[in-house]
Structure 1
Amino acid sequence: MISVVLPARNAAATLPAALDSLAGQTLDDFEVVIVDDGSDDGGATRAVAAAFSGRDSRFRLLSRPHRGIVAALEAGIAAARGWAIARMDADDLCHPDRLLRQARHLDANPAVGLVSCQVAFGGDARAAQGYQTHIDWCNSLTSYQAIRLGIFRESPLPHPSVLFRRELIDRHGGYRAGDFPEDYELWLRWLEAGVVMDKLPQTLLTWNDPPGRLSRVDSRYHTEAFFRIKAGYLARFLARINPCHPRVIVAGAGRITRRRAERLLDHGIVIEAWLDIDPDKVGKRVAGRPVLPWDAVPGPEACFVLPYVACRGATEEILDRLQSRGFVLGQNCLPAA
């Protein structure tokens, strides 16, 4: 059995479509644990969930006081009976073959602990261009190696798209509460523990973007929260792969880039220099370190470069320049923004 854990709060408007998409799955052997996280919409969300559970035994409703997404996920997983846990949100849509394809992939690949899929954007791509760009980037990471090397830019796995083996929670721990995005921290921790993550080439989920989505309104999903939580994981990853450890050169010398990169200092990383193209910075010392032009950067045998510029497209341009000089992703350079 596959267990779908679906937290919902004040979701009466979108929950019927989400549950309908699950009811129409081509996989028969699954359950849906709907966790009503203290909805205060006059019982509307509970009524929708209760109606589904009343006519289809695969759907179960848990009603709890409002304690947030992590507590709701913990409650849903504790109540789940399946060998694998699928995530789903109350405002997204599963395509009919999603659970079947993902379950078959885990069954056929015992070394894989988690599988995601391609996702379609359910919002207005023009009005939410940044969200569409993020989805396009997520969909471009189609292998474990790409996910492993891309994780330090941003989260490469849309949370409601994943299916993972329940045993991973027993081995490596589940969701944690804190001032950080709970899914991103979980992916970082599991990847650090050696969990193999894969992504199917099929589009099996429509990821909607309503105005009240937590990633838009909750401070735990603010950009700075991502940089804060990943610093320690990134530092430990660098300790394993950087032949010049603990020394790095950070691409980008702007104020925001410096502030984010300097979080690594608390974890033993030494930033030797900045790399930049701004003529007002090149050749000077910024925050006590020299700002190097491109032609002064040592070769790949003598340094490790961290592109830390978050501007869309800048990281790709930096990596292209580095790779043209013989740098190899994951060996002597790694994008961190």
Structure 2
Amino acid sequence: MFSDSPPAVTVLMPVYNAAGLLRQDASALEAAVHSVLCQQFHSFELLAVDDGSTDGTAGVLHRLAAQDQRMRVLHVSHGGIVSALNAGLAAARGRYIARMDADDICHPHRLTLQAAHLDSHPETGLVACRVRFAGDRAACGGYARYVDWTNTLLSSQDIALGRFRESPFAHPSVMFRASTVHAHGAYADGPFPEDYELWLRWLECGVRMAKLPQTLLDWYDPPTRLSRTHGNYGTDNFYRLKTRYLARWLAARNPHHPHVTVIGAGRTSRRRAALLREHGIVIDRWIDVDPRKIGNVVDGARVHGRDALPEAGRGFSLAYLAGHGAAEELVPFLESTGRRNGTDFLLAS
């Protein structure tokens, strides 16, 4: 039986048709559950939400729950990850919610360290951790580089400024306050990644977020991962979501609003930046280092070289750079000229 006192943490794990997912001939689901139940933190519950599975998932979950009273199973009709997550949030008993997926592995100190951070930082609404990419780096280099990038975002400022490049967290690595959900809303359903929308919305509302420097989760990359298979996670939907929040950020933070300079005049950069116009943003000029592009006119704005970048305080620049490592080369150059990230420029891809 559960204690009358609620646990400090609810580990929320949505599960759908995971009974047959194997890793090295062992059950990935059982390994994920075991990694939670072996936490050195004591005051937690593991809430597994079975999203209407049609395989043997329910039986596996009930067998595991019968072995440990800290685990309970919630069955819902199949409605997708958002409805499963929100059903779990409604049933959660903890003051903190730790996300977990059914194919990842928690390190033993994860809950201890994240809960301690929230306990000692009442101004912080969400804390994540670094993760280990547990997929095939040779076959999935892009995903691996994304994980490496997220692991560089530790401070609240870096997370806030980096949020318009990519989602700053691995979803199953976060722990947040249940009160944050009550204040700013749960997961939203729509043609977008549900976790990224939540981070953007909460950050827009002023929720402070942080990331621990410790690596506390092994993040696997199976071919069935929703971000690889579901249309909500497609590139176009990702950029439309991001642009909507970016446009509102610019309206509040860009002293030259609605005017911006866009760094990057390649085909991909132009297509992504053009979404800004749907929100009333005016692109004054394009900046590129390719001499073949300089002098061209794109949608009424001329392409210039770097010497045409607005000086600090005289304009705002958005960088849409598709090339790997291009943004990391651009930032030191801009900062060496007195321009400040978040004040004079921002990385948007």
**Distance (whole Å) between structure 1 residues aligned to residue 12 and residue 128 of structure 2:** 15
TM-fit CA distance, 1:239: 2.0
Which of 53, 66, 70 is the equivalent residue of 2:65? 53
- The reply on whether 1:9 has 2:9 as its aligned counterpart is no
Question: Alignment RMSD, CA only?
Answer: 1.1
Which of 215, 224, 244 is the equivalent residue of 1:212? 224
Partner of 2:25: none
Residue type of the partner of 1:291? Answer: V
Correspondence 1:116-155 to 2 at 5 A: 116-155=128-167
**Are 1:243 and 1:332, in contact at CA under 8 Å, matched by a contact in 2?**
no
**Distance (whole Å) between structure 1 residues aligned to residue 326 and residue 84 of structure 2:** 38
Which secondary structure does the structure 2 equivalent of 1:105 belong to?
helix
Correspondence 1:102-251 to 2 at 5 A: 102-251=114-263
Which of 42, 54, 65 is the equivalent residue of 1:40? 54
Which secondary structure does the structure 2 equivalent of 1:140 belong to?
coil
| Deviation sequence 1:33-64 (CA, Å, 0-9, x none) | 101112122xx211111011111111111122
Partner of 1:28: 42
Q: Identity across aligned pairs (percent)? A: 53
Which secondary structure does the structure 2 equivalent of 1:334 belong to?
strand
Residue type of the partner of 2:14? Answer: P
TM-fit CA distance, 1:5: 0.8
**Distance (whole Å) between structure 1 residues aligned to residue 76 and residue 313 of structure 2:** 56
- The reply on whether 1:64 has 2:76 as its aligned counterpart is yes
TM-fit CA distance, 1:318: 2.3
| Deviation sequence 1:260-298 (CA, Å, 0-9, x none) | 112111222111011112222201211211101111223
Structure 1, unpaired ranges of 5+:
none
Partner of 2:284: 272
Residue type of the partner of 2:298? Answer: V
Which of 286, 301, 305 is the equivalent residue of 2:317? 305
Bigger shift: residues 326-335 or 217-226: 217-226
Partner of 1:77: 89
Q: How many residues align?
A: 335
| Deviation sequence 1:302-329 (CA, Å, 0-9, x none) | 1111001222111122223222222111
Which secondary structure does the structure 2 equivalent of 1:329 belong to?
coil
Structure 2, unpaired ranges of 5+:
1-6, 22-27
**Distance (whole Å) between structure 2 residues aligned to residue 324 and residue 132 of structure 1:** 29
**Distance (whole Å) between structure 1 residues aligned to residue 117 and residue 294 of structure 2:** 50
- The reply on whether 1:87 has 2:95 as its aligned counterpart is no
**Distance (whole Å) between structure 2 residues aligned to residue 318 and residue 291 of structure 1:** 17
Bigger shift: residues 95-104 or 308-317: 308-317
Bigger shift: residues 315-324 or 141-150: 315-324
Bigger shift: residues 253-262 or 157-166: 253-262
